[in-house]
Amino acid sequence: MEKLKKKIEAEGTCLGTDLIKVDAFLNHQIDPVLMEQIATTFYEQVKDLPITKIVTIESGGIAPAYALATKLRVPLLFMKKSEPNTMEDPLYTQVFSYTKQKAYTLCVERKYLSPHDKILFLDDFLANGEAFKGAERLILEAGGEIVGVAALIEKVFQAGHTYIVDKHYPLFSLAPIQQIENGKIQWADSLIF
């Protein structure tokens, strides 16, 4: 998606060869017009999948997942990164965050996932795939089925891409990055599998 790529180039910051800071418009401050455009692009890619629910992880995936959920007219479920004491019957797993360099507990109320759910997982970034693997464990433990994986920004050079493709999940990526070198992003071809 060219608009997202241009926004990343104009307002994002490359930190080394593997981190990108996009908090100006995506995961701290939100650009609602861009979220609407992202949702429209994803909608065209996934509208024929049998999606009954979108799942994301707090907090960077919530805005684009919400925008897409409104277009698909399906519920949005976001998994939490810590277990609140109000959860009655949580499913949880440990996930390592590469960005924060620490593990956290990913959790969700069991009653919000069921064996009838056909899930599109959507997140702001796909890198090493640890966040997705954690969500996958919880979705499968509840008996749900993952019918697609969507990422706004994908670092193709990290392990998450291969993991998802090897599992035969349809993968939709709007801004796939081949590599980051000298503070510049080299874009990969658009990735839809």
Q: Which domains, and CATH codes, for the chain? A: 2-192 (3.40.50.2020)
- Is 85 flagged in the annotation as binding? no
Which residue's entry shows tokens 């926004």? 7
pLDDT per residue as tens, the chain (193 positions): 999 999 999 888 888 888 888 887 888 888 999 999 999 999 999 999 999 999 999 888 999 999 999 999 999 999 998 777 888 899 999 998 777 788 889 999 999 999 999 999 999 999 999 999 999 999 999 999 999 999 999 999 999 999 999 999 999 999 999 999 988 999 997 655 5
Tell me whether residue 115 is exposed, middle or buried, using C-beta atoms within 10 angstroms of its C-beta: 0 to 12, 13 to 18, 19 or more.
exposed
- Is 67 flagged in the annotation as binding? no
Q: 158 near 186, Cβ under 8 Å?
A: no
- Is 129 flagged in the annotation as binding? yes
- Is 155 flagged in the annotation as binding? yes
